[in-house]
Amino acid sequence: MFVLPVKEYKIRMKKIIAFRFSAMGDVSLTVPVIKGVLEENPYLEITFVTREFFAPFFHSIPRLNLVFPDFKGRHKGIFGLFRLYRDLQKSGPFESVVDLHGVIRTKILSYLFKISGIPGFSIDKGRKEKRFLIKSRYIRALKHTTVRYLETFAAAGFKGQVGKAPFIKVAEKSLVNAYRFLEKVHPTSDRIRIALAPFATHQPKIWGIQNFRELITLINADYEVDFFLFGGGKEEINLLKEFQSYSPNIYLTAGEMELSEELALMSTLDLMISMDSSNMHLASLSGIPTVSIWGGTHPAFGFSALGQPTEYHLQTPASSLKCRPCSVFGNKPCMYTIPRCMEMVNPQEVFDKLVKFKLLRIRSKRVN
């Protein structure tokens, strides 16, 4: 019997490089996209350039290499960007550059790769569409940021799709530490565990501590609950420490845990109540119900909590207030001392919605 020899073909891995340096929420939204693109392209390897602080978001994603630029040292300034380009070349050769940020730094880096023969593809942020919505007050849902990321990868020849949460996988050690924290806080596992993230980067996106206190009072009256405070930055943490003293069942995580441990803890909770903030995105990516309260910004701009029902986005209707939404990111100063759009969302209304959505049901016993 004559047998033809079987030729062995070695499939060459394709390598691309992608950029997204900030902000936390925007970087976190690259996670489901990168996972989806890698899943649909089994012979693709992505080098992702971002800040080291965000590394826990990408734990255990196969064929993903993380590179952390040093913008305060080696990669500072225009000459630093050229050094970063030279450093990144060592990880190549790359088939293409995917710019998910679209800022001066990433445009310069993309250009340097382009003149060396590597094509670049940059995100379309839809700035004109967003400006039109603000100016006209004609509210319609624009593309979600994850869709814009996917389109940028597709332009480079690598299609993908976003699956279902959870998207963030935490390290085993972080999960163990999170459970130890829960055991120390309250060993009973049948209490409802609610995360609270009362702050955001800009004032028009903040509901206010007093409103959260009133909401906690309403919830405490009928339910056995443990509340966990999330936030970041020295000023926020000091305010959260004061807030913690309002009720004995409020526990501070901000400043007490590493980011990876906060993510692990978040994944074990039953509900997140937040502003339009990075914690909103992290909670939804962790696969827990996420109720967000919106003021100066609007979920229609493409930054809504991924995969959450639209009714979980609580807000004053834009038709009820001529100045809302006032900006895409909430960075425009409000004409009122206390943003009217936030003032019009009252704690009783939020509580009633939580009950209506059946998000305050008593949990069955579960093993931690």
Q: Mind listing the pLDDT tens digit of every residue in the chain (368 residues)?
A: 455 565 555 678 999 999 999 999 999 999 999 999 999 999 999 999 999 999 999 999 999 999 999 999 999 999 999 999 999 999 989 999 999 999 999 999 999 999 999 999 999 999 999 988 888 777 888 999 999 999 999 999 999 999 999 999 999 999 999 999 998 887 667 899 999 999 999 999 999 999 999 999 999 999 999 999 999 888 999 999 999 999 999 999 998 999 999 999 999 999 999 999 999 999 999 999 999 999 999 999 999 999 999 999 999 888 888 888 989 999 988 888 888 999 999 999 999 999 999 999 765 434 34
Closest CA to 197 of 235, 246, 226, 230: 230
Residue labelled with tokens 């339009």: 276
Q: Tell me how far apart the alpha carbons of residues 129 and 103 are, in angstroms, rounded to a whole number.
A: 18
Query: Is there a contact between 281 and 29 (Cβ–Cβ < 8 Å)?
Result: yes
Question: Could you count the other beta carbons within 10 Å of the beta carbon of residue 174?
Answer: 21
| 33 closest CA partner among 172, 168, 171 | 168
Cα gap 154→5, rounded to integer Å:
38
The answer for residues whose C-beta is within 8 angstroms of residue 22's C-beta and 6 or more apart is 51, 101
The three-class DSSP label of residue 253 is: coil
CA angle 161–166–168, rounded 5-degree value:
90
Burial class (CB in 10 A: 0-12, 13-18, 19+), 292: buried
Q: Which residue has the tokens 């400006």?
A: 131
The half-sphere exposure of 159 on its side-chain side, counting CA atoms within 13 A, is 0
| pTM of this structure | 0.93
Indicate the pairing of strand 250-252 with strand 192-197: unpaired
SS3 of residue 205 by DSSP: helix
Specify which residues 225 forms β-bridges with.
192
Determine if the peptide bond prior to 156 is cis (ω within 30°): no
All domains of the chain in start order, with CATH: 14-155 (3.40.50.2000), 172-356 (3.40.50.2000)
Task: Measure CA of the first residue to CA of the last residue in the chain; give whole Å.
Answer: 62
Among candidate residues 280, 209, 211, the one with its CA nearest the CA of residue 245: 209
